[in-house]
């Protein structure tokens, strides 16, 4: 496949994401891409491993799943807003993709997120992080650093762990992973009437570039949100690293089968880097 064809597909992925709630027709894609429907679909399949109609359907269902989990919108509102003709057709498509009804997905805390399809760029009409910050309150959770101890302040409870022991445990994998850990005492950010306390930053070894993660915890032990600027091959290494090293040392419990991510396009000036939002489902403990 030529670089020009790949660039066309990437551009169309962004356009589809920006218009995911509109009535997207194949003739619109044909007009904007400059390719015939047949050729575009052929190239699209080479890049995405599915045809364009299936991609659009799965992206809409992925957004629907997220809305069911983090908003109070009704099933009919979500279905109509995402371009499904009827609630019945939406429910049929949802069941085919996730193996359950929309209401079951909303109620069940262990519904599988792994069948989601992340998009290349979030659109202005529905942005997951905007919805979270407007729909949920932020719980105060922050880590401060001292020479001997990391003090975690969580809802009035203080949990203490030895930083030196923590760092030694982490150091064993730093060379192979390419990441080092640092615990920061950072000022909270103000967003409207809500306070967001950055908990931790992962920074890569200097050989890996300027990738950085800001880790933020949401209300009611639901999700921790990681904002990443990373290369594609690093994303899974980072999340695995958090689960195997960070969580065991902190008062957080990962809830299996609920993690998902949203890829939000290339970082300007760094074609190999991606903006990624990773949602880590967690619960709190008091000891």
User: Could you report the per-residue pLDDT of 263-276, keeping only the tens digit for each?
Assistant: 555 556 655 566 66
Q: How far is CA 285 from CA 68, 72, 113, 200, 232, in A?
A: 26, 27, 24, 18, 32
Q: What residue spans define the domains of the chain? A: 3-110, 135-284
Confidence of residue 8 (pLDDT cuts 50, 70, 90): confident
Asked if residue 211 lies in contact with residue 228, where contact means CB atoms within 8 angstroms, the answer is yes
Alpha helices in 49-99 (DSSP H): 52-70, 75-81, 87-98
Where does residue 137 rank: exposed (0-12), middle (13-18), buried (19+ CB within 10 A)?
Answer: exposed
Q: Report the pLDDT value the prediction gives residue 69, as an integer from 0 to 100.
A: 72
CA distance 188 to 194: 10
Give the chain's length: 287
The CATH number assigned to the domain with range 3-110 reads 1.10.10.60
Judged by average pLDDT, the poorest of 1-15, 29-43, 102-116 is 102-116
pTM: 0.43
DSSP one-letter string for 229-275: EEEHHHHHHHHHHIIIIIGGGTTEEE-TT--EEEEEEEETTEEEEEE
Q: How far is CA 195 from CA 58, 140, 181, 263, in A?
A: 34, 7, 24, 25
Judged by average pLDDT, the poorest of 52-61, 72-81, 178-187 is 178-187
33 or 257, which is more confident? 33
Confidence of residue 59 (pLDDT cuts 50, 70, 90): confident
What are the structure tokens assigned to 37, written together?
A: 């429907």
Q: Angle between the 128-135 and 52-70 helix axes, to the nearest 10 degrees?
A: 10
- The per-residue pLDDT for range 159-212, each reduced to its tens digit, is 223 333 333 333 333 333 333 222 222 222 333 322 223 333 333 333 333 333
């Amino acid at each position: 496949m030529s670089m020009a064809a790949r660039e066309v597909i990437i551009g169309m992925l962004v356009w589809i994401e920006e218009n995911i709630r509109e009535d997207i027709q194949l003739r619109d894609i044909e007009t904007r891409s400059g390719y015939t429907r047949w050729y575009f679909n052929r190239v699209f399949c080479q890049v995405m491993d599915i045809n364009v109609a299936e991609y659009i359907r799965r992206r809409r269902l992925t957004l629907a799943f997220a809305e069911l989990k983090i908003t109070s919108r009704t099933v009919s509102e979500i279905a109509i807003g995402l371009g499904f003709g009827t609630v019945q057709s939406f429910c049929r498509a949802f069941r085919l993709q996730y193996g359950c009804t929309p209401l079951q997905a909303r109620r069940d805390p262990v519904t599988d997120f792994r069948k989601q399809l992340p998009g290349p760029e979030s659109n202005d009409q529905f942005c997951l992080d905007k919805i979270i910050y407007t729909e949920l309150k932020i719980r105060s959770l922050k880590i401060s650093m001292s020479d001997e101890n990391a003090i975690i302040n969580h809802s009035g409870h203080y949990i203490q762990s030895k930083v030196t022991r923590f760092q030694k445990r982490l150091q064993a994998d730093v060379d192979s992973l390419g990441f080092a850990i640092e615990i920061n005492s950072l000022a909270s950010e103000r967003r409207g009437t809500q306070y967001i306390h950055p908990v931790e930053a992962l920074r890569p070894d200097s050989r890996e570039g300027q990738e950085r993660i800001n880790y933020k915890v949401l209300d009611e032990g639901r999700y921790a949100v990681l904002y990443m600027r990373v290369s594609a091959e690093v994303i899974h290494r980072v999340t695995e690293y958090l689960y195997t090293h960070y969580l065991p040392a902190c008062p957080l419990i990962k809830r299996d089968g609920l993690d998902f991510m949203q890829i939000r396009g290339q970082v300007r000036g760094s074609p190999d880097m991606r903006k990624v939002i990773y949602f880590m489902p967690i619960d709190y403990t008091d000891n």
